[in-house]
Amino acid sequence: MNNQLNELMNELTEWNVGVVKKHELLANHTTIKIGGPADLFVEPNSIANLEKTLELISKYKVSWRAIGRGSNLLVSDNGIEGVVIKLGNGLNHMELEGALLTVGAGFSLVALAVQISRKGLSGLEFASGIPGSVGGAVYMNAGAHGSDISKILTEAHILFEDGSLQWLTNEEMEFSYRTSVLQQKSPGIVVEAKFQLEEGEKEKIVSVMQKNKDYRKETQPWDLPCAGSIFRNPLPNYAGKLVEEAGLKGYQIGGAKISDMHGNFIINAGNAQAYEVLQLIDHVKRTIFKLNKVEMETEVEIIGRK
């Protein structure tokens, strides 16, 4: 680590912002269990300390990126340059006023959906099987079963690169299929989200959630290390169906394997490396284009050193 990063690490530690580690393996923080080391890894223990972390990163002019629970993420074997900020334990608060929910970005989406359903509130049933964090879900407008985050979000609390903290309305978030304004025009960190839920029948809500969860268990390999959907659906086609029709289910390169269960999932079948997953992605893209003249785009975010 260079001097700048060492000085930054010392200052972050002095400020007691939370967990601060050097050369932390990101395989420990991704659902596919792949990823080299971050030069510096920080898990702030409060919103104020997240702000302080970004302020110090800016002071030392070091590159950074934020992660949540590490789903929908493929990190390079060579790791990530600069700082990785993990939104976790310090940002997992929740507050309910009637049917208006304010929740921290580090809260598990699955755990949130379960807790909310038990209170007889409807709106998060679609999220019962999405293994990410609230922040990641808002960032990429996560969805399933015909619904998504944009249907329930009223406002998102965003920390921008310049250190400003602002609430953006649903409209200002510019949601579309698996994207938001944060991916394109205005990079920032989701700190909190406000969701407008509806009162409903507890038994009915829990039943819908269980049905969604069972469907995921039956059709997707979440019991194995994977990153979630690898490709966006090239509508009106479905990525998984195209992969299946191409006869690629079960195709394997090294430790990376296309799931036998679902064509749009790549699993870590044993010590898989990021480069093997990338080779598999390229093979799928070439095969599908050759067969269907359809360009496949990745939904999984690919980050880190080349």
Residue 228 domain flag: no
| pTM of the entire predicted model | 0.92
Residue 106 domain flag: yes
Verify whether residue 133 is a known catalytic residue.
Answer: no
Q: Are residues 186 and 142 in the same domain?
A: yes
Residue 72 domain flag: yes
Q: Are residues 161 and 249 in the same domain?
A: no
Total number of domains constituting the chain? 3
pLDDT exceeds 80 at position 57:
yes
* Catalytic residue (choose from 69, 178, 259, 276): 178
Residue 225 domain flag: no
Verify whether residue 178 is a known catalytic residue.
Answer: yes
Q: Are residues 115 and 186 in the same domain?
A: yes
Task: Determine the Cα–Cα distance for residues 305 and 173; give it in Å rounded to an integer.
Answer: 29
pLDDT digits (tens, 9 = 90+) for 280-297: 999 999 999 999 999 999
Q: Are residues 299 and 194 in the same domain?
A: no
Q: How confident is the model at residue 129 (pLDDT cuts 50, 70, 90)?
A: confident
pLDDT digits (tens, 9 = 90+) for 240-251: 999 999 999 999
pLDDT exceeds 90 at position 2:
no
Report the CATH number that the domain containing residue 247 is assigned in CATH.
3.90.78.10
* Catalytic residue (choose from 108, 117, 180, 229): 229
- Residue 269 near residue 44, CB atoms below 8 Å: no
pLDDT exceeds 70 at position 1:
no
For residue 167, which of 97, 96, 100, 102 has the smallest C-alpha distance?
102
Q: Are residues 187 and 70 in the same domain?
A: no
Q: Are residues 134 and 244 in the same domain?
A: no
Report the CATH number that the domain containing residue 211 is assigned in CATH.
3.30.465.10
Task: Determine the Cα–Cα distance for residues 204 and 206; give it in Å rounded to an integer.
Answer: 6
Residue 50, CA distances (Å) to 81, 126, 186, 191 in order: 19, 29, 18, 9
Q: Are residues 73 and 99 in the same domain?
A: no
Q: What is the sign of the dihedral through the CA atoms of 302, 41, 87 and 163? A: negative
- 3-class SS letters over 238-253: CHHHHHHHCCCCCCEE
Residue 14 domain flag: yes
Residues of the chain with pLDDT > 90: what percent? 86
Q: Are residues 168 and 249 in the same domain?
A: no
Question: Of the candidates 68, 90, 112, which is a domain's last residue?
Answer: 90
Q: Are residues 109 and 86 in the same domain?
A: no
User: Which whole number is the average pLDDT over 202-219?
Assistant: 89
Residue 168 domain flag: yes
User: Which whole number is the average pLDDT over 232-241?
Assistant: 94
